[in-house]
Structure 1
């Protein structure tokens, strides 16, 4: 449940006499447009927290953002947070540079047990379980960009039948919650799916196992701060609704004037290379996957044409995206090296890009929609798709208050953006 009262971003007000003002289980949403200073404000709060001995955990999507925040903290904290306390979470197995889940997670738990200040990624934070909740009781948790609290594992219907018949798993007929029945099973045949099902809060929806993040982690914290934009469109907001969590918004921005500035800086292509039929599913993942080689070539030719003749930018300043699984099928001359993941956020690595092409039309996985629907929660897919699009656009030079070209051939996605700008 959300509290609609709006507060300011005042750092001093937030941290004044903080030890006496912290409220257990309080969730604060710093909801403001990208580039408005949410992370900078959070760094200042972390500095103030450190001066009173209040421990904090900072969670961000990318490793490079951890390093940036760490450097900022080291420059403003009189007794800076030890680099060891941050960098230990970036451990790789020796020699191969291969991701080592066990080493990283164990290091994370070890730091929590030592009550250290910690910066980590969304991915590693998502590996926590209910049993870890007690380690968070002394912490303020700061999450940069709303996390995805839902994880899917799609499995074949016949294989799921075998899991039940062999009594490897069982299901609560009322809630569809899954339990691993045979804890001694060692065979590799179902090792991966059984490891997934051993997580907390795993449910079965048709042929998809669904796990959601243990709310006990956030409930254990002294306070939770989430830095994002359009929070109500995120899966995290629906997750809080599912769990009955209360939260309050904090903002003070004149968003209307910000949108006017963005609109003036954005050159949105409106020519004949856009989708010519008003189909809601055109450029969706399923639609793009099923296209023939000839159809894919036509799309690639349109992208190249727009970059070369409409936007007139070279490969160094051009960027595109599509769904990861079909990236290679839509890569083309003059823009391939500028690929930005379709779910990119919280990074300024691509802020030099002056022209961007969004080859996608976002919809949530039907299993997620069905899962929430069964709980009586309906998700607004247009709102979610819009927030994902805005986050991606903001990776380009528009974040620097510069002019930027944008090609979105999907009618649905383009019109969602234009409606948001016009508001």
Structure 2
């Protein structure tokens, strides 16, 4: 009989975790040629910031961006958009739900298909974002380098990016009750701020993959209002 020594590790670090050190544990490999699954962990987490939202809110009526609204092409592709058909799909909680493992794999394949096959994009022309803590759940070989975290958008620009992917569905955190703007306005602010850091700032046409039907509808409505 072969005995195997097992140590339990907390591999699921989320918003309820309070001690980063709890993520790590000890595993003794008894050289049984087991296949170990590699988990990625990032201590960087996307946080909601009310003042940041207020500072960015003028983007909705920004003349410099709205005059280019006709240059925004939202990807209308039934197969790769199917993953975001429900209201809360691609929200922060959706990513953290363990039962969505197959959906995360599907999303990774969709993004890779979009960048590499549908758009035939080069790495330098691709830019995508999601919540920091979700990055390693979906990043793939075909688009890994084009990632810009939501927290980085105030400092990073990519004027070469004409193929974008917005893999978020923004909602207020439950702890935020003041709500200066409607929740839909907050979501629109975030996606417009992301778009404004692409090649559109130079008057270039862009294409954007938005799996969340809620986020697509918000952006479509803004484009219609500014066309």
TM-score range, shorter chain: 0.5 to 0.7
Alpha-carbon deviation of 1:155?
8.3
SS of structure 2 residue aligned to 1:414: helix
Q: Identify which of 389, 404, 410 aligns with 2:212.
A: 410
2:102 matched to 1:294?
A: yes
CA distance in 2, matches of 1:305, 1:395: 23
Q: Identify which of 81, 84, 88 aligns with 1:274.
A: 81
Q: Is contact 2:115-2:121 (8 Å) kept?
A: yes
Which 5+ residue runs of structure 2 have no aligned equivalent?
1-14, 19-48
Q: Is contact 2:83-2:103 (8 Å) kept?
A: no
Q: Identify which of 216, 222, 227 aligns with 1:420.
A: 222
Alpha-carbon deviation of 1:345?
3.4
**CA spacing shift, 1:401–1:289, aligned 2, 3 Å:** same
Please state which structure has a larger fraction of its residues in strand: 1
CA distance in 2, matches of 1:335, 1:155: 30
Alpha-carbon deviation of 1:292?
3.7
CA distance in 2, matches of 1:307, 1:352: 14
Which 5+ residue runs of structure 1 have no aligned equivalent?
1-152, 157-210, 214-225, 234-250
- Where relative contact order (Cα < 8 A, 6+ residues apart) is larger, the structure is 2
SS of structure 1 residue aligned to 2:109: helix
Which of structure 1's runs of 4+ aligned residues deviate more than 6 A? 153-156
**CA spacing shift, 1:342–1:228, aligned 2, 3 Å:** closer
1:24 alignment partner in structure 2: none
SS of structure 2 residue aligned to 1:360: coil
SS of structure 2 residue aligned to 1:366: coil
1:380-399 alignment to 2 at 5 Å? Answer: 380-399=182-201
Report the TM-score when normalising by structure 1: 0.38
Report the TM-score when normalising by structure 2: 0.68
Please provide the CA RMSD for this pair.
3.0
CA distance in 2, matches of 1:314, 1:230: 32
Larger Rg: 1
Q: Which moved more, 1:355-364 or 1:264-273?
A: 264-273
Q: Is contact 1:314-1:334 (8 Å) kept?
A: no
CA distance in 1, matches of 2:183, 2:220: 17
Alpha-carbon deviation of 1:227?
6.6
Q: Is contact 1:344-1:395 (8 Å) kept?
A: no
Q: Is contact 1:347-1:395 (8 Å) kept?
A: no
Count of aligned pairs: 177
CA distance in 2, matches of 1:386, 1:277: 17
